[in-house]
Chains A and B, each alone.
Chain A
Amino acid sequence: MSIADQDQVLDNPLSGISTLLDNVLPELSQLLPSLHKIQHELGYVPREAIPIIASKLHTTPAAIYGAITFYSEIRLEPPPETEIAWCSGPACRLKGSENIKRALEAVLDVRMGQKTPDSRLGLRLVQCDGTCEQAPLVRLNGRTMGNLNVSEAIKLGRDLLAGQQA
Chain B
Amino acid sequence: MSTYEELRQQADEAWREWASPARTLIKIGLATCSKAKGAEDTFEAIRDEINARGLDADVAITGCLGLCYAEPLVEVHRPDGRRFLYGDVTPEKAKQLVDAIAEDGVSAELALAVIQGPDVPGVPRLEDIPFFAIQERRLMADCGTIHPRNIDHYMARGGYEGLARALTMTSEEVIKEVLDSGLWGRGGAAFPTGRKWDFLRTARGEPKYILCNADEGDPGSFVNRNLMESNPHLVVEGMIIAGYATGGARGFAYIRDEYPICVERMEFAVQQARERGLLGENIFGSGFSFNMEVVRGAGAYVCGEETGLIASIEGLRGMPKIRPPFPAQAGVFNKPSNVNNVESYANAPLVLRNGAAWWSSVGSERHKGTKMFSLSGAIQRVGILEVPLGISMREVLIEAGGGVPDGQIMKAIQSGGPLSGIIPASDINEPLEPEPFRDRGMFMGSGGLIVLDDTDCIVDLCIYFEQFAEDESCGRCTTCHGGTQRLVEILRRISNGQGRSSDIDHIRLLADTMRYANCVHGQAAPTAVLSMIRFFEDELKAHMQEKRCPAKVCRALICYEVGEQGPNLPKAEAICPTNAVVREATAYRIDQEKCIKCGACKEVVPESIQVLDAYQDVVAILTPL
Contacts and interface: CB of A to CB of B under 8 A. Distances in A.
Interface string A94-107: 10101110110011
A116 to B, nearest CB: 15
Contacts of B534: none
Contacts, number: 165
Interface in B351-402: 374, 376-378, 382-383
B26 interface: no
Contacts of B456: 94
A126 B256 CA distance: 13
A7 B528 CA distance: 50
A128 B600 contact: no
A133 B69 CA distance: 6
A73 B220 CA distance: 19
Contacts of B465: 90
Interface string B422-454: 000000000000000000000000000010100
B596 A102 contact: yes
Interface string B461-476: 1001100100000100
A36 B604 CA distance: 43
Contact of A133 (B37, B225, B461, B555): B37
A57 B315 contact: yes
A89 B414 CA distance: 13
A150 interface: yes
Interface stretch (B51-59, B187-195, B269-277, B297-305): B297-305
A149 interface: yes
B26 to A, nearest CB: 23
B492 interface: no
Contacts of A129: 32, 222, 225, 258-259
Contact of A102 (B377, B575, B598): B598
Contact of A150 (B222, B299, B333, B600): B600
A59 B315 CA distance: 10
A151 interface: yes
A102 to B, nearest CB: 5
| Most chain B CB inside 10 Å of its own CB: which residue of A31, A67, A70 | A70
Interface string A63-93: 1001100111110000000000000111101
Contact of B315 (A31, A99, A154): A31
A127 B219 CA distance: 7
B258 A93 contact: no
A141 B201 CA distance: 47
B27 interface: no
A130 B32 contact: yes
A35 B295 CA distance: 12
Given A32-B298, A94-B456, A130-B221, A146 B36 contact: yes
Contact of B450 (A29, A90, A134, A151): A90
A162 to B, nearest CB: 14
Contacts of A96: 599
Given A71-B299, A129-B32, A93 B461 contact: yes
Interface in B213-228: 216-217, 219-222, 225
A93 B551 CA distance: 14
Contacts of A144: 35-37
B315 A134 contact: no
Contact of B296 (A32, A126, A128): A32
A85 to B, nearest CB: 10
Interface in A16-60: 27-33, 35-36, 57, 59
Nearest to B313: A29
B312 interface: yes
B450 A91 contact: yes
Contacts of B257: 73
B36 A134 contact: yes
A33 B298 CA distance: 10
A146 B414 CA distance: 22
A150 B376 contact: no
A78 B418 CA distance: 31
A90 B577 contact: no
B375 to A, nearest CB: 9
Contact of B377 (A27, A90, A100): A90
B368 to A, nearest CB: 27
Interface of B: 32-33, 35-37, 68-69, 71, 216-217, 219-222, 225, 257-259, 295-301, 312-319, 333, 374, 376-378, 382-383, 414, 418, 450, 452, 456, 460-461, 464-465, 468, 474, 555, 575, 577-578, 596-600, 603-604
Given A28-B316, A32-B315, A135-B376, 14 more contacts: A35-B298, A66-B317, A71-B297, A73-B299, A90-B464, A94-B452, A103-B600, A106-B596, A129-B258, A132-B68, A132-B222, A133-B33, A133-B376, A144-B36
Closest 5 CB pairs of A and B: A130-B222, A73-B299, A71-B298, A28-B315, A132-B376
15 contacts: A28-B315, A30-B315, A35-B298, A36-B298, A70-B300, A103-B577, A103-B600, A130-B32, A131-B33, A132-B68, A132-B377, A144-B36, A146-B37, A151-B600, A151-B603
Interface of A: 27-33, 35-36, 57, 59, 63, 66-67, 70-74, 88-91, 93-94, 96, 98-100, 102-103, 106-107, 126-135, 137, 144, 146, 149-151, 154-155, 157
